[in-house]
Structure formats: structure tokens, C-alpha cells
């Protein structure tokens, strides 16, 4: 079940960077969810590379929905979206076919697939595959929004520059979902962009931290062992290329603290049980407590850099030097955020369908 | 498949803190793995509470292997280990039944199970359930060791006190596996213990960071989507009570860095392809590269503290105050490390069996 | 996930015939289902061997519920039932350890487990393991009954003797569930018993066909691909030792017929959509149509016979002759029916929980 | 995981009869398996409807491999095959949209999907979806053949006319795989075709029994509980529209027999352990014994008939009468056989990859 994720609502990914196309099959979604192709296109545009950071024109990726949608709504049967690969040029890759790019999967792919892998452009490991994830995620995001569940992610930190903390979550989420470069503080955004461009000019790259909040998930979702909300989300999030860490709530801030500082006290507010703080990120014992789910993903600097690097020729098993050419962004963190939103939405649809049944997110639910 | 984890080698957990007993079923293990009951007992002793931090007598938990072992070796059929609950006193719990302990799962359990949960001592959410995980993990650890794969975890940080970094990994792992309080630097260990005791005297608690290294895993294990080594390990690790973050390799240190600083260059050493640094923690593109797998778990301060706390009565939905009584450790991080080792071992057995088949880890392999 | 069956409600089996004990873990059941130990004991008695066919004293197997039940109801966490193996005598088995009993799993177990298997009494392949399945199934049967879903199985055919067809299903099911030797027609029952005893006296054995009906399952449960009601039920039913065929509805009777004879016409009855006949056994396109689910299991003659048989010594790989000794029933079909009921109930709980959510079968559902 | 089948090698199906297209994602296959598009086309032609029974021109379905194949071999990453739907005319369907065709899934689809289903031509329930299964299966068949494992299916019985039994299995399988109308005895074939045409002229339909044999599967594959070879195969086979029964080996012939007649005696032949008969169909205790795997599928008469039928309008919930129009074959059994072969191949690839690891069936295995 390698390339399939989810138990009740599942997504299956396929495709290589330079093959005929990529895509996703989204299965188990409730019937009756509206499918808005313009919204899918918008979401896809958020992860596309841009000429200058953050100034992406919302150009459309071509995609096709092959199945699972009828008269504008999900049917409840598998929804397959494909995205053709266009203008792929493979000629650049033969030269470096046997040189493992540091920080990339070239060498591990070869260990796993014994040379049968499609090595061009990273093949099945390419960040391009996340386009399919985003397309599928867009449907999940719509389904959740119709139940009052919304997701927002900001670049909490990039190249050492911090964004401001979440404040009014509902407003912040709405704001973020209208932004291309999702940073809450304008000055921080400008500084991040400057640092990204500087890194690019130096042939280098930067990373950072994404922070995500989800509001509206009911209390009581998740399992103590092993399908904790944290565990299932992390399982999906670590698939996103460059994500090397996932933390919930106050996370590593708690490591040096005292229990009395980070136990979120319960209180009754307007008849509803809440916690006064949310250091645990909306999850206790693996199960949602009705507070916002909050987590962070650490995104490493993109490994494609233009400085000459030491590596090996993994066919001859000799040391070698590598100079990457072509076009690569010095940062992908601002583009990764829509992938994080998508994985989060798909995971939550799965958890909710498992908890409340297959109709919960659909048109027949009441 | 809630309480079952793993696809080819799987572990199923059961039990409540104050029920008749707890246990685990370990399925899919190769036939012929030696099962050493003394080693299981030793591992169990590492997670037991101790009178004074780090001075645990290696007292035995009683456990029984009901199935799956014959003449001292695994049969290849499910191995069930049960651990009876002894000397459980339930009387303390009725008084606080309706008061949600902050930072605990009392309230979320009630949301999920509607009051039918066994609330005594945390029920199925109790840290005690990890004893079953440790017992099962001990078998997995043995299986891996017989293939040259060893795992070691140290308390990298506790109550703000750092341990030294890993140095000679093989030696450090061996050292850690002989220690009760797994800290590599003696002075750091002493300081941590002092802080833990001080927190305990103040009715408070502390947390920290565990760091784990695994050596000997072959290159080429794991999947690009979605069963990355990172994702599958994190899925399991987040089940461990109090773990709120998981990071691989240099992890959050990479967030503020440049790509050129953290791309691990490849090199050939004695005919073997290695990376000169291991900032990616032994995993590229979700797949092992043959270097040590290294990751950290953030362990929040144990939520059981003896200061009075604000909470709610979740039956009457009114504000309340809670004073926890009884015996609770001011730190669990040093006891959690054997649980981390166990989850790691179980997860790796699963990934390896999926990659190399059901006999790989057993007596018939080679 | 070998010894675990089910996606939302799952059962995990463990144990060997002559080990310390056997058992099952039942996970994903709704909280609040009443657990009636007397009913579990009754169900267990239906599969126990009896001195004379059909005259089993309802003696109790000892069993223990280790977890998942609190104050008489399911908690929603894993329910583990263990059944100790008592009075097991292993001495008989060493002599025939290397002689594959024809029709049994001795040889295939050795191929799979390489000699590490617990060979005594069939080990993990023993029919005894079904006791754990029956114990777990009893809880599932109760859960379903509380939702108006009832299951009944009769020996439709044994040793060539046919029982009468189902007539008034609700009455027949009720009648069957009160019987030890579940045959609707008394004369047929007497004739079957006579043939079973004759076979036994000849050192031989007989088989037959079980037919099961389930009423009360709502329309709309199951999947077109691949989790059809037929496919999922069959998956489970084929685990029952000696079951070699599963058919739905009129089944093989349809093979020689015309479409016009076996297309079940729809009709409206009291405002409810029904089919006038039920040749399709309550399932169209893999999904329940609201009519009774009806299927048959073919049970081969028990392979333990007392005639001398040709076989091989699979250690020396030489031809050999085998004379089975000890106590073995000349028929197991009448005992297998409670196993069929149990697998059916567990499978339906899984399908229903997947469809309607985790609370559907429990005490909190309304 | 509804539309995904298989644990280590899995197939995911998508598509509706009258949507944009159908397809399959095949995941977990070893890298290095040759992919022969002409063979895929040939297999597809075997399930296409034909002008006259058994005289199908081997016309090509258009299909496209989007991913997972590079330089003519599997890469080890997901292989997606899509087949566009061409010349679909939807106008016929609106008229009968609310009339449940007896024996079809129209009504149950509506119960499950609440009217959001794509009802045209059976939608996701259409036999057309099996084209995707056949395309994926063709790759699995090639992979197995390269390991010496071959599969053959004949129409053992159709419209009451029996084919001869399997004799020389290897020769029979080879013969069947070269035939369009897979009946071993020519006279039987002619008689079947005559009966099929007669049924068609009467506006009626016929069914029958398919029998499949697989040779070359090593001993020791499968699980005792619950992933028996029988159970896993049946799970997949029941997805094939019109299959209502699955039996292994001598199957229902054993129901009336004595154990002494059907226990397959073991013997040593040329140093290899075999059974002298194969009444158990190559499986003991759920595990292969090295003999041919033999099973039968009962195929009900195709429910699309041209006689007027009683039904209901499931919107108004009133009785109605239905006259099906258009083109429908009076038999599908001869076309279903390639679907059976495909499901069998996919299932065996899954079982073998689980047993022997991900490389077993591929180009890197030795």
C-alpha cells in the first residue's frame, strides 16, 4: 500500500517528473461534495515555481478529472485527476545520470530500484508529484470547508526570519488562504524574499518552518494507539519532499519547560469545554479536544544548489564532482505550504470518515 | 486497524491501566528468531518507575508468552505477550472521575468513548500500556541485532540540560544499552537528575529530547510516497505518550541554514558509498542511504503534577479545580527511551520484512 | 496484517493448539456494547467436540476478558479474550512429527515456517483456534442483534442428506440459534447423525454444506471494487478450516439457468423496496439491497481419519504410511456453523462501522 | 481502501462507464519487469464484446501508460494505465434512470451514493471497469510467467454444457491462452455457442462456471488466518461482476464424499514432495503445497435481458415495468475468463511479494 495513504478516505499517487503524466486517485470520499475546478487550478498555481518569489502569476496547470465526478459533484467512487507533463526536456539528465545529487534521492532510488528507475528530473521523487497531491487535496479542502473546518498555513520562519505568531486564527487563516506568499507580517515577508533572492544569487538555498492551524474539527477524533492525530498527520507530512521534522502545539518549546507551564487548563466558555491555552496543539492522548489543531513542519533548504558539490559516480563507485545546472528555486517553503494544507485536508477527511461514516462529508449528510 | 501498527510485521496493543492485564500481539515476524525472556524482562525494567531517578532495581514485571514461541524461538505465527495488572487500586479514581486532568486524555477519551471508557488510571491511554510495546519490541530488537542492526537512544536534553552529541556511534549505542539512565555524559546525567528531583519536590515535572541512532540498516529501504522511513517511524513514535515532535537528522537546525551547509556530500570509503556528513539522518527521499538513521523525539513534561490546576467537571460542564494525588514521576523521559527503541525496532522489522520478505529476519535466512 | 482481519472493526487471532493459550483481540468496536459472558460461553460450547454428535453438554471453556470491557460493556478500546489450553498432551505428536497428514497443513506449515512451527496438534492451524474467533464473534453477534440484525446457519447438507430449505427466515434463525445440531428438519437431522456415526465407525469422515442467512442489514453496505460484501465475507470464511467453497444466493444453481429465471424482480411492499425473489442473496453489485444476505459454505470431510494413509516423511523426503490415532470427530460441520456465524458477524460489524462510523453499533448510537 | 486491493502489490481501480475514462494504478511491482504493450492489447481484446460469440476481432482498445514504465520495463513505482471512454452515448440512460434493472446495481448504487452516482451505463459498476483490471493484470501475468508461473482458465460449463476436465495442465493452459473462446473440447465449444446464440435470440442470457489452474507457485505461500490463498483470491474474484461463487479444488464434489476419498495422499516424485491427487486445489491450511492451484468461479447469467421485467421506480417508490434496449451480450462468461486470470495474477503477485520481498518478481532478482 506504498503509494496509497489513508484508510477510509485514501489517496494514491502516481507519476514521474518526465513521464507522460502524473496524477492521483482519491477514494472513499462521500458522494455529493461539490468539485470546483477553478479552485483546484488556484491551489495548483500556489505550488508552481515562479519567476520571482511570491509573484507567481496564477497560470493554470492543465489537469483532467477522469472519474468520480458527475454533474459537478463527487459520486462517491474513485476520483482520478491526471496532469500531463508538458515541455519536458530529458536531454539534460543523461550527463548526470550516474552522479548522485547530494541531499536528493538519486542514490537511494538506485539502491531501491536497481537502475530501473526513471532518473530524469528526480522521477517519482520529484517535487512535481506534489501537484497531484494538491489537486486531490483541493477536493478534500472543499469537503472540510463545507463542514466548517478550515486550514491555514504560514511560513513561520524562513532563512532565519520569523513571521509573527498566529493571533486571531479564523482571520489569519482566511488571510493566508488569499495570499501567494503566505506570511502574516508584511515586513517579515519582504525580508524573507530578500534573503531568498540573495541565496539564489549566491547559488545557494534556504529553508524554514511552516506552521499550520486547523479550526472546526470536533473533539473525539483520532486513536490512542497507533492512529493518533499526530502520528497519522506526521505520516503524511513526512512524504512532502524536504520536510524533516513535525511538531505539535508548542512542540520543542515544551522540551525545556515545566509541566505547570504547559498543561493546558480546561475551562467552560459559553457552555463549551475549551482549554485556556493550546500548547498541546488541539490533541490530547492522540485525540482531538476541539481546540485548533496546530503543528509545524521543518522544511530543509532545497538541495538543488548551484555551487559545485562533492559526490560519487554510483555506477563506477568513484568520487566525483557535480555542478547542477538548469532552473531551480532557492526556496520551496512558500510553495510547500499548499502541499501541507493538502496533506492535512486529506488526512482529516480520512479520520473523519472513519469516525462518522462515509456520508459525513458529503451532500447527503445532514 | 486502530490499535494495530505495521503492514508486514505488525503489533496490536490491548489493555487498560486498571483492568485484568495488558499485552501485545506481534505478527508477521520471521520464524526462528531466538526469544530471550531475560532480555524482555530487562527491557521492561528500563521503563518501570523507580524510587529514585535512574536507580531502578531491575525488578521483573511478570509477563507470559501465550503463543508464537516454541522451543525458544519464534514460530512465525502471532506472538502474544500478556502482562497482568497487579496491585491495582481503583478507589482513588472515582473521586476525580469527572475532572479532566489538564494535558491528559481524560476529556478526549470521554468525547470519543461517551463515558464507556475505563477511566481508572488513564485506562487505555495509560503509559503502562507501553510495557506491552516494550515486551514486543524486545523481540524485534533481538531480531535486528542478529542482522547487525543496533539501536540506541540517549536523553539528549532534559530540563534544559544537554547531553553531549553522539560521537562514536557503535560505542555510544553499546554504552547506552547498558545504562538505566541513558545519558552519555556523566556530569550532564547528574545535573539532569538533580533538576528532575527539584521539579518533583516542587510538585512539578520536566521534559526533554530523546535522540536515537540506528546503525546497520541497508540502503534502499522505505518508500517515496507515503511510507517514507520518516513518516512510518513518526507514525509509531507519536503514539508514545508525551511525544509531541519528531525530527530527522539535523532537523530544526537546518531550518535557518543554507543548502550548501546541509547537503550531505557523497564519497566512496573502502569501496562503499557513504555521506561525509549525516545531516539528513540516513534518509534521502524517504529511503535509507546506508548511513545511520538518526532522529529526535520531543518529550513534553509529564502532565501529572501536584500543583493545583484549573479544569472542568465534564459531566456538569462547570469549572473546577483539581489536585492530583498519588505517586507520579516528575520525569518520564528516561523511561520513554526504551519505548522509543521498541517502536523503532518494530517499525524497522516491518519495513525490512516488506522489502526482503518474511524470512529475512529469521532463523532460515541466508 | 496476516492474522488480523477487518479494517474498521478488526479481529486478531493468536495461539497454538498445544501452547499456553489462544485468544483474540477485537478492535474498533463501538463503546457501550453489552458483553454477556454467559452468551460467550454458550457460543463456545457450540463448537466444542461432543461425546456423541449433537448431544454436547454445554460445558464451559474457561476464558478471560483481559481488556476492553468495563462495567459489563465494551469501552471502545481493544477487547482481548484469552482461552488457556488445558490438559494438552504433547507426547503423541513427536512420533508423527515428520509425517504429513494428508489434507492437513503439516507439510505446508513446514514449507512456510521451515521447521520452527509448533507442530503439536496442528499448532496455529488447529481448529481449536476457532474458539477464539467464536468468543470474539459472540460480542459482534450481540452488537448486531441490538441493531436488529440476526444471523442463522443450518447444516443444509451433510453426508449427502439434505435439510429443508429456509422458509420463514426470522423463525428459522431463531430456531437454529437455540439448537446444538442446527438442522431445520428433524428427520434429516436424525439421518445425518446416523451417517456421521457410521462414518466414524468406519474410521472415515464426512462433510457437507452450511447455509447462512442474515436479516436486518440495511441497503447500501459494501463496495463495488474490491470490498464487495461477497468478497469480504468470503475472505473471512475461507479461513475456517475445511471450508473450500463459498457461494451467494442461489449460487451454482444459477450456473445452468437463464437470466430471466434468476434476475430478482424489484417490487414495493409496504412502501419498502424489496425483491420478489432473492436469488442474488441480498447483494447486487457487491452492495446490500436490504434483502436477507444468504450464502453457503462447502465444508470438506474432516481430514483426520483412522484409515491408514499414504504420505511422506518430509524430513527424509521418503514415502511413508500414516495411521492417525487419538480422538477426532468424523464430522465437524455442525460445529463449524458457529464459526461461520462468528466470522459473519465480525465481518458485518466491520462493514457497518466503515459505513456508519465507529459509534453505530454501540451504546451511544440513537 | 475500498477500490484498492492488495497489500504489497496493489491495484487501484477508477472510472465510470460513461465518464472521461477508466484506469488502474498498479503499485508495489518489482522494478525491471518487461511491459509488453502488444500483450496488454491482446488481453484487452479478450474481454471486448464481439459481433458473434467467440469470433472477436482482436481490435485494440486505446490505452495509455502514464507512469511507472521506463525504457520498456517497470520502474518499481506506480504504474498507471488509463483507457479513454470513446463513443459513449448517454442519451439512452435518462429514460430508465429511476428504474432499477433487476440483477444490476442501479438500486444499491442509489442506496449507497444517494443519487450522486453516475448512473449512465452502470457507472462505476459497469463491466467495462474490468478492462482496467485486465490491463493491469497483463503486467502481473508477464511478471509471473518470467518466474515460471502460468495461469489458464476455461469455460468449464456454460448454459448447461460441460467442457472436458483439465488433463495435461501445462498443455491445456498454453492452449487456452491462445484461444478467444476458451473451451478445451471443440464439440462442447460449438454447443455452448449455439446455446448462447439461442438465448440471445430469445432475449435471454446464460451463465456458467469458469475453472482456473495455476502452475509453478512455490509451496509455502499464504497465511493460516486470515490471508489464506483461498480467502485472498476469493476476495478479489468476487469483485468480478456476475461471479457469485468460488470453490477450490474438487470443491462441492467433496461435500457429499468421505474423507478417505478426498484426502490427497502425499508422495515423493523425483525427489519432490507432491500429492497423488489434487482435490484440495493446491492449498492446505490456506497455504500452497506446490501443486497446481485450481478453483472455479460461478458466473451468473448476465442480468441484461430483453424480456420485459418487473421493477420499481426507486424515486417514486412505485412498481414499474422495464424493457432494456441497446446491445448486450447474452453471455459474458467467455469474456470474464481473462478478468479471472488478471485478478488471479494480481493476487499472486501480492502474495509472492509479501513472502519473498519486493524484488522477487523483477529484473534484479536472480
Question: Rounded to whole angstroms, how far apart are CA atoms C350 and C340?
Answer: 15
H helices present in chain D, as ranges: 37-47, 91-95, 106-113, 130-145, 169-177, 186-201, 229-237, 259-262, 333-356
Q: Return all residues near A46 (Cβ < 8 A) that are at least 6 apart.
A: A56, A134, A180, A335, A337, A338
- Reduce the DSSP state of residue A211 to 3 states and report it: strand
Say yes or no to pLDDT of A75 above 60.
yes
- Reduce the DSSP state of residue A45 to 3 states and report it: helix
Q: Are D220 and C108 in contact (CB under 8 A)?
A: yes
Q: Are D286 and D293 in contact (CB under 8 A)?
A: no
Question: Rounded to whole angstroms, how far apart are CA atoms C263 and C249?
Answer: 11
Q: Which residues of C touch B1 (CB under 8 A)?
A: 1, 4, 6-7, 10, 27-28
B309's grid cell: 490546576
User: Given an 8 Å threshold on Cβ–Cβ distance, is A360 in contact with C357?
Assistant: yes
Question: Rounded to whole angstroms, how far apart are CA atoms B174 and B181?
Answer: 14
Say yes or no to pLDDT of A57 above 90.
no
User: Given an 8 Å threshold on Cβ–Cβ distance, is C255 in contact with D300?
Assistant: yes
Q: For chain D, where are the E strands, in sequence order?
A: 4-5, 10-15, 21-27, 64-67, 69-70, 73-74, 79-84, 150-158, 161-162, 208-215, 243-248, 266-269, 272-275, 283-284, 287-288, 293-299, 309-313, 318-322
Bond into D72 cis (ω within 30)? no
Helices B333-356 and B229-237, interaxial angle, to 10°?
Answer: 140
Q: Are B342 and B237 in contact (CB under 8 A)?
A: no
Which residues, numbered 336 to 355 in chain D, qualify as contacts with chain B under a Cβ-Cβ cut-off of 8 Å?
Answer: 354-355
User: Given an 8 Å threshold on Cβ–Cβ distance, is A8 in contact with C355?
Assistant: no
pLDDT digits (tens, 9 = 90+) for A188-225: 999 999 999 999 999 999 999 999 999 999 999 999 99
Of the candidates B102, B220, B281, the beta carbon closest to that of A112 is on: B220
Residue of chain B whose Cα is closest to the Cα of D354: B357
pLDDT digits (tens, 9 = 90+) for A318-344: 999 999 887 788 999 999 999 999 999
Q: Is D88 part of the contact surface with chain A (CB cutoff 8 Å)?
A: no
Q: Which residues of D touch C104 (CB under 8 A)?
A: 284-285
Residue-level pLDDT, tens digit, chain B, 366 residues: 689 999 999 999 999 999 999 999 999 999 999 999 999 999 999 998 764 554 344 446 799 999 999 999 999 999 999 999 986 666 667 767 889 999 999 999 999 999 999 999 899 999 999 999 999 999 999 999 999 999 999 999 999 999 999 999 999 999 999 999 999 999 999 999 999 999 999 999 999 999 999 999 999 999 999 999 999 999 999 999 999 999 999 978 899 999 999 999 999 999 999 999 999 999 999 999 999 999 999 999 999 899 999 999 988 999 999 998 877 889 999 999 999 999 999 999 999 999 999 999 998 765
Residue of chain C whose Cα is closest to the Cα of B26: C14
Question: Rounded to whole angstroms, how far apart are CA atoms D125 and D140?
Answer: 23
Compute the nearest-CA separation of B130 from chain C (Å).
15
Q: Are B63 and B35 in contact (CB under 8 A)?
A: no
Q: Is B359 part of the contact surface with chain C (CB cutoff 8 Å)?
A: yes
- Which chains sit next to D, with 3 or more Cβ pairs under 8 A? A, B, C
Bond into A226 cis (ω within 30)? yes
Q: Is A356 part of the contact surface with chain C (CB cutoff 8 Å)?
A: yes
Rg (CA), chain D: 21
| 3-class secondary structure per residue, chain C | CCCEECCCCEEEEEECCCCCEEEEEEECCCCCCECCHHHHHHHHHHHCCCCCCCCCCCCCCCCEEEECEECCEECCCCEEEEEECCCCCCHHHHHCCCECCCCCCHHHHHHHHCCCCCCHHHHHHCHHHHHHHHHHHHHHHHHHHCCCCEEEEEEEEECCEECCCCCCHHHHHHHHHCCCCCCCCHHHHHHHHHHHHHHHHCCCCECEEEEEEEECCCCCCCCCCCCCHHHHHHHHHCCCCCEEEEEECCHHHHHHCEHHHHCCCEEEECCEEEECCCCCCCEECCEECCCCEEEEEEECCCCCCCCCEEEEECCCCEEEEECCCCCCCCCCHHHHHHHHHHHHHHHHHHHHHHHHCCCCCCCCCC
Bond into D226 cis (ω within 30)? yes
Of the candidates A77, A224, A357, the beta carbon closest to that of C356 is on: A357
B4's grid cell: 494495530
C10's grid cell: 478488526
User: What CATH topology corresponds to C4-356?
Assistant: Chorismate synthase, AroC fold (3.60.150)
Q: Which residues of C touch D1 (CB under 8 A)?
A: 7, 227
The single residue listed with the C-alpha cell 484487452 is D44
| DSSP secondary structure letter of residue B165 | P
Q: Is B114 part of the contact surface with chain C (CB cutoff 8 Å)?
A: yes
- Burial bucket for residue B179 (CB in 10 Å: 0-12, 13-18, 19+): middle
Q: Which of D110, D300, D312 to mutate to test the interface with C (most CBs of C within 10 A)?
A: D300
- DSSP for A290-325, please give it: SSPEEEEEEEPPPS--SS-EEEEETTTTEEEEE---
Say yes or no to pLDDT of A10 above 90.
yes
Torsion of CA D180, D181, D187, D192, to 10 degrees: -160
Nearest to residue A13, comparing CAs of D340, B224, B279?
Answer: B224
The single residue listed with the C-alpha cell 440476526 is C150
Q: Is A276 part of the contact surface with chain D (CB cutoff 8 Å)?
A: no
Question: Rounded to whole angstroms, how far apart are CA atoms A140 and B162?
Answer: 42
Q: Is A207 part of the contact surface with chain B (CB cutoff 8 Å)?
A: yes
Residue D266: count of CB within 10 angstroms of its CB: 27
Q: For C71-90, b where at least 16 C-beta lie within 10 A, e where not — what string?
A: eebbbbbbbbbbbbbeeeee
Say yes or no to pLDDT of D350 above 60.
yes
Q: pTM score, two decimals?
A: 0.97
| DSSP secondary structure letter of residue D284 | E
D319's grid cell: 412498481
Beta bridge partners of C275: C266
Instruction: Tell me how far CA of residue D264 lies from CA of B65, B96, B233, C122, D250, in angstroms.
Output: 35, 64, 46, 17, 11
pLDDT digits (tens, 9 = 90+) for B183-215: 999 999 999 999 999 999 999 999 999 999 999
Nearest to residue B223, comparing CAs of D73, D13, D14, A12?
Answer: A12
Residue-level pLDDT, tens digit, chain C, 366 residues: 689 999 999 999 999 999 999 999 999 999 999 999 999 999 999 998 764 554 444 446 799 999 999 999 999 999 999 999 986 666 667 767 889 999 999 999 999 999 999 999 899 999 999 999 999 999 999 999 999 999 999 999 999 999 999 999 999 999 999 999 999 999 999 999 999 999 999 999 999 999 999 999 999 999 999 999 999 999 999 999 999 999 999 978 899 999 999 999 999 999 999 999 999 999 999 999 999 999 999 999 999 899 999 999 988 999 999 998 877 889 999 999 999 999 999 999 999 999 999 999 998 765
Q: Are B279 and B262 in contact (CB under 8 A)?
A: yes
Angle (CA) D104 D107 D112, round 5°: 115
User: Given an 8 Å threshold on Cβ–Cβ distance, is A259 in contact with B159?
Assistant: no
Question: Rounded to whole angstroms, how far apart are CA atoms A35 and A32?
Answer: 9
A137's grid cell: 487535496
User: Given an 8 Å threshold on Cβ–Cβ distance, is A314 in contact with B273?
Assistant: yes
Q: Which residues of D touch A68 (CB under 8 A)?
A: 14, 16, 19
Q: Are C166 and C294 in contact (CB under 8 A)?
A: yes
Q: Return all residues near A120 (Cβ < 8 A) that are at least 6 apart.
A: A16, A17, A18, A88, A90, A93
Angle (CA) A97 A100 A102, round 5°: 145
- Which chains sit next to C, with 3 or more Cβ pairs under 8 A? A, B, D
Q: Are B207 and A257 in contact (CB under 8 A)?
A: yes
Q: Which helix (H) or strand (E) holds B44?
A: helix B37-47
User: Given an 8 Å threshold on Cβ–Cβ distance, is C77 in contact with B31?
Assistant: no
Question: Rounded to whole angstroms, how far apart are CA atoms D350 and D364?
Answer: 17
| DSSP secondary structure letter of residue A12 | E
Question: Rounded to whole angstroms, how far apart are CA atoms C345 and C143?
Answer: 9
Angle (CA) D23 D28 D33, round 5°: 85
C113's grid cell: 515456517
The single residue listed with the C-alpha cell 551547509 is B261
Residue of chain A whose Cα is closest to the Cα of C352: A357
Q: Return all residues near A107 (Cβ < 8 A) that are at least 6 apart.
A: A100, A312, A314, B219, B266, B273, B284, B289
- Reduce the DSSP state of residue B322 to 3 states and report it: strand
A-B contacts (CB, under 8 Å): 360
Q: Which residues of D touch C238 (CB under 8 A)?
A: 228, 230-231, 234, 286
- The alpha carbon of residue B300 and the mean position of all alpha carbons in its chain are separated, in whole angstroms, by 14
Amino acid at each position: 500500500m506504498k503509494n496509497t495513504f489513508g484508510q477510509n478516505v485514501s489517496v494514491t499517487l502516481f507519476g514521474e517528473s518526465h513521464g507522460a503524466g502524473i496524477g492521483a486517485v482519491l477514494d472513499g470520499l462521500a458522494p455529493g461534495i461539490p468539485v470546483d475546478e477553478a479552485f483546484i487550478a488556484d491551489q495548483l498555481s500556489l505550488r508552481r515555481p515562479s519567476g520571482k518569489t511570491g509573484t507567481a502569476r496564477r497560470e493554470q496547470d492543465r489537469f483532467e478529472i477522469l472519474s468520480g465526478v458527475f454533474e459537478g459533484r463527487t459520486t462517491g467512487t474513485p476520483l482520478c485527476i491526471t496532469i500531463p507533463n508538458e515541455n519536458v526536456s530529458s536531454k539534460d539528465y543523461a550527463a548526470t545520470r550516474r552522479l548522485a545529487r547530494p541531499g536528493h534521492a538519486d542514490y537511494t532510488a538506485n539502491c531501491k530500484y536497481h537502475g530501473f528507475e526513471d532518473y530524469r528530473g528526480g522521477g517519482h521523487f520529484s517535487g512535481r508529484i506534489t501537484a497531484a497531491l494538491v489537486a486531490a487535496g483541493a477536493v478534500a479542502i472543499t469537503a472540510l470547508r463545507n463542514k466548517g473546518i478550515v486550514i491555514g498555513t504560514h511560513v513561520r520562519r524562513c532563512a532565519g526570519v520569523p513571521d509573527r505568531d498566529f493571533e486571531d486564527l479564523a482571520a489569519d487563516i482566511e488571510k493566508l488562504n488569499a495570499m501567494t506568499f503566505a506570511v502574516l507580517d508584511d515586513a517579515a515577508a519582504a525580508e524573507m524574499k530578500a534573503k531568498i533572492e540573495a541565496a539564489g544569487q549566491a547559488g545557494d538555498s534556504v529553508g524554514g518552518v511552516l506552521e499550520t492551524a486547523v479550526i472546526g474539527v470536533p473533539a473525539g477524533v483520532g486513536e490512542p494507539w497507533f492512529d493518533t492525530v499526530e502520528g497519522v498527520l506526521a505520516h503524511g507530512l513526512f512524504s512532502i519532499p524536504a520536510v524533516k521534522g513535525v511538531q505539535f502545539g508548542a512542540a520543542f518549546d515544551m522540551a525545556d519547560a515545566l509541566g505547570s507551564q504547559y498543561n493546558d487548563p480546561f475551562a467552560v466558555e459559553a457552555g463549551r469545554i475549551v482549554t485556556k491555552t493550546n500548547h498541546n496543539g488541539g490533541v490530547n492522548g492522540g485525540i482531538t479536544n476541539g481546540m485548533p489543531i496546530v503543528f509545524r513542519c521543518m522544511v530543509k533548504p532545497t538541495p538543488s544548489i548551484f555551487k559545485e558539490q562533492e559526490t560519487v559516480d554510483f555506477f563506477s563507485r568513484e568520487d566525483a564532482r557535480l555542478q547542477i545546472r538548469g532552473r531551480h528555486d532557492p526556496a520551496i517553503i512558500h510553495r510547500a505550504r499548499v502541499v501541507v494544507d493538502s496533506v492535512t485536508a486529506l488526512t482529516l477527511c480520512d479520520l473523519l470518515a472513519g469516525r462518522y461514516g462515509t456520508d459525513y462529508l458529503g451532500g447527503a449528510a445532514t
